Amino acid sequence: MLKKLAIFLLILILALTAACAGDTKGGKTTETMKEEPKETKVVPEPVKPQEPKSEPPKESKSDFLFPKEGIRPFAVMIDNEGLKSLPQGGLDKAQVIYEIIVEGGETRLMPVFWGTEPTMIGSVRSSRHYFLDYAMEHDAIYVHFGWSPMAQRDISKFKINNINGVANGGEIFWDLTKDKYNWQDSYTSAEKIKEYIKKANYRTNSDSKPVFQYNNSDMELTAGSMAQKIDITYSAGYTCGFEYDTASKMYKRIRKGKPQIERVTEAQLTAKNIIVQTVGSNTIKGDDKGRQEIANLGTGNGWLITDGKAQKIKWSKESRPSQTKYVDESGNAIKLNPGQTWVQIVPAGGRVDIK
């Protein structure tokens, strides 16, 4: 009986084994033989070129360094006579530039610098007394190379902190040539001026209010006429002017009919604002060099020119150290757009053409 039971169990085990063998293939169960998912490769869609935005691009922020209240600037006498003085250096770094007539019907320039760092400033020339009035307006340290008798007197009289290339600061200047008879090749730099200021212990802070107020961004003159081309005649022998560039909204500087170039950058000088101030002038009686006097006290007329327009203004100045006030025809103080300003102090016998 037991033998028959053992044989039955053996047959049963063999049958079950055969059934399981029918569910296998190649040593793996049917489940394990399923195809494993292949790695999916993502093919990016072609990137379409970005369409330009319909709105115009925003105007880039001006990099103009505003004159900062409390900071004392320095002002430098710059030659503008003849070809030897060209091209001048450092003018593009000034916030304000004054141009005034001198003897012989030529002009000199006086750029005023707040915190900029021109590496070449020049050529530096001697002082004329009426330039001191505008240096005092800004409480500026005054840099020059020599002086006229009246300027020497007034620098002492008004106790103006100054650096004179032929007296107390010759070490900060260098000459571009070895010609000892060339008085139109003396240069300095912001770094050397600051070194001397520190050595002389000149005050570097200022309590003076700024002469000019500025808009935060460009503001078009609400009242005014077109001003695309400005021609200024100082004398029979000297003319200058500006031509408006609509793309940059800047005025390109012209001197005696040709572009006026900056020495370091070799680029044409430009201005954002132009102030024309008309003054009386005359040759100083008995002066053997024909030096000039200007009538810049009292009141007078002028123009503010910016962004392609010109607006009539009035100016007033009470005393030589006091600030010149520039107002529109309604009596409101003018505001300048951010950028360099040229103050053209033009003799009444000259001419200003605005087109």
Give me the pLDDT at residue 140, please. 98
Is domain 74-354 annotated with CATH 2.30.30.180? no
Share the mean pLDDT of the chain.
Answer: 86
User: What share of the chain in percent tops pLDDT 70?
Assistant: 83
pLDDT tens, 283-330? Answer: 999 999 999 999 999 999 999 999 999 999 999 999 999 999 999 999
pLDDT band of residue 63 (cuts 50, 70, 90) is confident
A 10 A CB-CB count for 335 gives 17
The residue with greater pLDDT, 4 or 89, is 89
- For the chain, the structural domain boundaries read 74-354
pLDDT tens, 154-176? Answer: 999 999 999 999 988 999 999 99
